[in-house]
Homo-oligomer: A and B are copies of this chain.
């Protein structure tokens, strides 16, 4: 699955002028909200509530299936605009930090090898960081480097007090033990949120992870900003990868959705998906989800971004989502586009995690 390729999308819109009407809108929001909260996503522990069960109080939903005419067009959930608002909020917070304590957040990336995709994603992270005032550091290692060299780079960033987030750009070359190296990542700089402790705390009621993985966090923020209520909804996640599908399902559950995960061994996945009020797809299979997979009125969030060669596009390829967009827009009540949906939100969440990490490190609030 080429989930990391979502960052590619960001490249397109990041070239635009940074201060826009939405920047100003976000700024005015931050004036209204005295807590300077950039995101709408609440802390997970604040969502916790006791599961009080009684036989008599079983929730019942008799809402009938929505009817759509042939002219129905789904709302487009514009991640690009939302991410721009969030990034402008981050930029303001970084500025405030710099003016108050003379410090800025720092993000470090370790890149092994010269894979074209990885180079693109890292470049996007660099541009994104620098635009909001986050210091960006990078270590590039050759394809044939030793495990020890990667570990040394990790250790160096772990000990560096001006670095608050470390990303080990995946995938690593085969001769390197990904699990072992990731295990060495300092928990409080794990801005990707992939450390088992963060995943465990994401899963467990009553606990709060230090960082929520960026793509799932971006999807939830996108839903919340679109006014979509998650509690009690039937949510289906397609894909169970450690970096998207799994944490996505855990996060939806913390928001009190009734969650089902579809994976490659699921029988009749179309029928399972058809039950979803909220369908989040991260399979990495272009156009897997077509009309018969969708419940009329469903909210569809497309995380899939498969690059397909296209010489007419700027970088020689374009991105295809998991969802047949044309079909979804006739059936769903809302749908994210590819590109311009989840991708920009993912990069914005990485910057947000880095900012939060720096705030913790500097005890800056």
CA distance A55 to B288 in the complex (A): 5
Mask of A203-219 contacts with B, CB within 8 angstroms, 1/0 = 11111000000000000
Query: Do A269 and B58 touch across chains, with their CB atoms under 8 A apart?
Result: yes
* A22-30, A96-104, A236-244: which lies at the interface: A236-244
CA distance A364 to B191 in the complex (A): 39
A258, CB-defined interface residue at 8 Å: yes
CA distance A204 to B182 in the complex (A): 13
Report how many residues on chain A are interfacial, defined by Cβ distance under 8 Å.
Answer: 55
Task: Using CB atoms, name the residue of chain B closest to A277.
Answer: B267
Q: DSSP class of A's interface residues: helix, strand, loop or mixed?
A: loop
Q: How far is the CB of A289 from chain B (nearest CB, A)?
A: 10
Of B54, B246, B260, the contact of A204 (CB 8 Å cutoff) = B246
Q: How far is the CB of A129 from chain B (nearest CB, A)?
A: 27
Query: Do A263 and B256 touch across chains, with their CB atoms under 8 A apart?
Result: yes
CA distance A342 to B120 in the complex (A): 52
Q: How far is the CB of A271 from chain B (nearest CB, A)?
A: 9
Q: How far is the CB of A96 from chain B (nearest CB, A)?
A: 32
**Residues of the B chain whose Cβ atoms lie less than 8 Å from the Cβ of A250:** 203
A253, CB-defined interface residue at 8 Å: yes
Interface centre among A54, A205, A234, A265 (most CB of B within 10 A): A265
A261, CB-defined interface residue at 8 Å: yes
Q: How far is the CB of A156 from chain B (nearest CB, A)?
A: 25
Of B50, B53, B199, B262, the contact of A288 (CB 8 Å cutoff) = B53
**Number of copies of chain A assembled together:** 2
A44, CB-defined interface residue at 8 Å: no
A70, CB-defined interface residue at 8 Å: no
CA distance A243 to B259 in the complex (A): 18
A52, CB-defined interface residue at 8 Å: yes
**Residues of the B chain whose Cβ atoms lie less than 8 Å from the Cβ of A285:** 53-55
Of B52, B197, B267, B272, the contact of A200 (CB 8 Å cutoff) = B197
Mask of A147-189 contacts with B, CB within 8 angstroms, 1/0 = 0000000000000000000000000000000010000000000
CA distance A61 to B207 in the complex (A): 38
Query: Do B60 and A268 touch across chains, with their CB atoms under 8 A apart?
Result: yes
Query: Do A179 and B196 touch across chains, with their CB atoms under 8 A apart?
Result: no
Interface centre among A52, A54, A240, A250 (most CB of B within 10 A): A240
Query: Do A265 and B59 touch across chains, with their CB atoms under 8 A apart?
Result: yes
Query: Do B264 and A258 touch across chains, with their CB atoms under 8 A apart?
Result: no
Q: How far is the CB of A326 from chain B (nearest CB, A)?
A: 16
Of B207, B231, B259, the contact of A196 (CB 8 Å cutoff) = B207
CA distance A347 to B357 in the complex (A): 42
Of B55, B60, B253, B266, the contact of A287 (CB 8 Å cutoff) = B55
Q: How far is the CB of A228 from chain B (nearest CB, A)?
A: 16
Interface centre among A179, A204, A250 (most CB of B within 10 A): A204
A283, CB-defined interface residue at 8 Å: yes
Query: Do A196 and B200 touch across chains, with their CB atoms under 8 A apart?
Result: yes
Of B179, B258, B264, B284, the contact of A261 (CB 8 Å cutoff) = B258
Could you name 13 residue pairs across A and B whose Cβ atoms are closer than 8 Å? A51-B240, A52-B264, A59-B264, A59-B266, A196-B207, A199-B200, A200-B201, A200-B203, A203-B203, A204-B246, A205-B240, A206-B242, A231-B265
